[in-house]
Structure 1
Amino acid sequence: MTAYADKTVLVTGATRGVGRQITDHVLAGGGRVLGFARQASYIDNANYTHFQVDLANATAVTAIFGEVRKKTSRIDIVINNAGVLTSQYAMIMPPAAAQAMVNVNLLAPFLISREAAKFMRKSKWGRIINIGSMAASLEPIGDSVYAATKAGLSTLANVMAKEFGTFNVTCNTLGISAIDSDMLAQLPRDKIEEIIKSLPVARFADIDDILNVIDFFASERSSYITAQTVFLGGVN
């Protein structure tokens, strides 16, 4: 038995990168996945249901739950994984890029967690897991808005933990360090390597590092773990 056996898990950014690997992990563990992504999906699994939605569009995010309700009466676990990053000095950051980070990295997780919690309230059980970033703690130059949205994600989870705790829903955040991905490829490799060298565990993350903490947060045994942020690699 795994944390996902007979569970319905909503994963955002489900079709690429870390989100795709999370999706495959949940499916392999016997779970059902509701995948949210802007792109179409080519995941061929009877336990996977795809919802094509632009997470930058708050109206579309809220509206898609009408489609979700046609497919399922329950959501047990939410993994808010999707994120966008524009790394740029604050004085020349395009406003549209800043707004996109706020919309996808912070507002979409708020809306998704809120709507999913309505399902969880009925079943009196749930797990909301946010994928944050080491940027929230390290505050690297060029990442002012990105870091702020990821710090806000932890605060969002902490407040929701208080609001949703009465119906047995936990809310936690995983602050991942650098992992090879499309997002990381946007950044200068030498700068990333400098940051990695400064960590107590001076290596890039791999997917098992991430899945290990997600599994912990999702576990039945973690019902007393809420309003926590766990950073990988020794970031604090």
Structure 2
Amino acid sequence: MSVPSEYAGKVVLVTGSRRGVGKLIAEHFLAAGATVLGFARGAAAIEHPSYHHFEVDVGDTDAVVRAFGEVKKVTDSIQIVINNAAVLTSQYAMIMPPAAAQAMVNVNLLGPFMVSREAAKMMRKRKWGRIINIGSMAASLEPMGDSMYAACKAGLSTLANVMAKEFAAMNVTCNTLAINAIDSDMLSQLPRDKIDAIIAGLPVPRFSQPDDILNVIDFFAAERSSIITAQTVFLGGVN
């Protein structure tokens, strides 16, 4: 595979890099010549000379700050951040355990805030950066049983939009990719017939494939996308 000039020499931080979409994205950047820093609660699942793994729970604000202290022992710059780590408990609001709701807020919303905040401090020195959040169709479709998850994912777009204004002077863009559905451990937690029915109602009625996701990631991360910020792209025609 040829190495795109956009990623040769770039340092990319991917949260939730141990499996699913996060692992897919991390491997994509590695194959394209980037150095990848992976944040995940478990041990590394990627072996590559340009991959550096950090065991960290992004839902723990103190742990995120400590992790960035460790990152700075490896590199003094980060150019691209992919806020992918997320947890999901799908239950009706009246029976949702408060601890599960709090975990979603911590990991799915506060985590990206902390990671973006700390990474932006490093991007400021180089005056270049791309922050890309992985959102969800749930933010727009608002399915029953996903009240807290959908709220967090909707908040993720708002978070990016406000940060886009705050970071624009540093030449740092902030955008969100809202995935419809892709086969993953998270998706397996949900009733497949429910997901199939939702997908069938979309303008493009199919599950996302890896290249669908990577195509938008590459678009947001590109050097030529310096004017693209505070945007949310929904896959499958969700609106």
State if a TM-score over 0.5 links the two structures.
Answer: yes
Residue 84 in 1 paired to residue 87 in 2? yes
Aligned residue in 2 for 1:66: 69
Aligned residue in 2 for 1:47: 50
Residue 111 in 1 paired to residue 114 in 2? yes
Alignment-mate amino acid for residue 153 of structure 2: K
Structure 1: which 5+ runs fail to align? none
Alignment-mate amino acid for residue 35 of structure 1: G
> Take 1:134 and 1:75, find their aligned partners in 2: how far apart are those partners?
28
- Cα deviations by residue, 1:142-190 (Å, 9 ceiling, x for unpaired): 0000000000000000000000000100000000001100000000000
Map 1:33-44 → 2, pairs under 5 A: 33-44=36-47
The SS at the match of 1:202 is: coil
Aligned residue in 2 for 1:97: 100
The SS at the match of 2:59 is: coil
The SS at the match of 2:23 is: helix
The SS at the match of 2:229 is: coil
> Take 1:42 and 1:55, find their aligned partners in 2: how far apart are those partners?
17
Instruction: Figure out how many residues of one structure are paired with residues of the other and give that number.
Output: 236
Residue 217 in 1 paired to residue 227 in 2? no
> Take 1:45 and 1:176, find their aligned partners in 2: how far apart are those partners?
27
Contact 2:19 2:45 in 1 (8 A): no
Give the aligned CA root-mean-square deviation in angstroms: 0.7
> Take 2:21 and 2:133, find their aligned partners in 1: how far apart are those partners?
13
Residue 193 in 1 paired to residue 177 in 2? no
Aligned residue in 2 for 1:182: 185
Task: Give the TM-score taking structure 2 as reference length.
Answer: 0.97
**Higher mean Cα deviation, 68-77 or 52-61?**
52-61
The SS at the match of 1:175 is: strand
The structural deviation recorded for 1:56 is 2.2
> Take 1:134 and 1:5, find their aligned partners in 2: how far apart are those partners?
32
> Take 1:120 and 1:214, find their aligned partners in 2: how far apart are those partners?
18
Task: Give the TM-score taking structure 1 as reference length.
Answer: 0.99
Residue 151 in 1 paired to residue 154 in 2? yes
Map 1:221-236 → 2, pairs under 5 A: 221-236=224-239
Q: 2:144 aligns with which of 127, 141, 144?
A: 141
Give percent identity, aligned residues only.
Answer: 74
> Take 1:17 and 1:5, find their aligned partners in 2: how far apart are those partners?
24
